[in-house]
Amino acid sequence: MAPGVDVRTNGGYVLACPSVVKSKTYQWIRPLVRKEELPPPTTWLIAELDALEQRRQKPSQKGNGPQAQETGLLLEGRRNAGLASLAGRLRRSGLSEAELLAALLTANKQRCCPPLPEKEVAAIAKSIAKYAPGPVESCWAMREAWKKAVEHRRRKYARRTHF
């Protein structure tokens, strides 16, 4: 979206408190606020995110296009996120770290082109296994909440601009 700005939505994950990487724990710099206290996204951000999503939906020229999507291939640039997403779905269904690793190693061999090193796949399984199994706030629920917040904001500003 812009240099130094990374947007993670459906199919990605973010490291945040209390994530641990290389024995170091992420900590909040400022205290957290309730979701209701967060300001709604600005109009330009909504437009940028919408445009980003449209570009993501279109087939890429780099081989991540329709054929890769139809076959479920994970090509360079999408392998780590693809396996992490798969691991997240499997973890929510209750799989243990060992089960995640077995499934990810198989998916890595069959779907990643070229396959990731086994050490990297094991790191994904270990990281995702730290999350609690079972139902958590789903991507669908978050998307719906954002849609409602964005639509509310658009209606609010639309009333102000019409004379």
Report pLDDT for 3: 62
Q: What single string gives the DSSP state of each residue in 85-113? A: HHHHHHHHTT--HHHHHHHHHHHHHHHEE
Asked if residue 90 is part of any domain, the answer here is: yes
Distance of CA 122 to the CA centre of its chain: 19
Write down the pLDDT at residue 19: 82
Task: For residues 3-21, give the mean pLDDT.
Answer: 69
70 domain residue, yes or no: yes
Domain that holds residue 127: 13-27+66-136
pLDDT above 60 (res 71): no
Q: How many domains does the chain have?
A: 1
| 125 within some domain | yes
Distances (CA, A) of 130 to 9, 90, 104, 123: 20, 13, 16, 11
Q: Is residue 82 one of the residues assigned to a domain?
A: yes
Compute the average pLDDT of residues 7-21.
Answer: 70
Tell me the β-bridge partners of 21. 24
pTM, two decimals, is: 0.44
Residue 159 falls inside a structural domain? no
User: Is 152 among the domain residues?
Assistant: no
Tens of pLDDT, residues 125-161: 999 999 988 754 445 666 667 677 777 777 766 665 5
- Assess if residue 37 is contained within a domain: no
Asked if residue 72 belongs to a domain, the reply is yes
What confidence tens digit (pLDDT) does each residue in 80-133 have? 999 999 999 888 888 889 999 999 999 999 888 889 999 999 999 999 999 988
Q: How many secondary structure helices (H) and strands (E) does the chain include?
A: 6, 4
Got the DSSP string for 126-163? HHHHTSPSS--S-HHHHHHHHHHHHHHHHHHHHHHH--
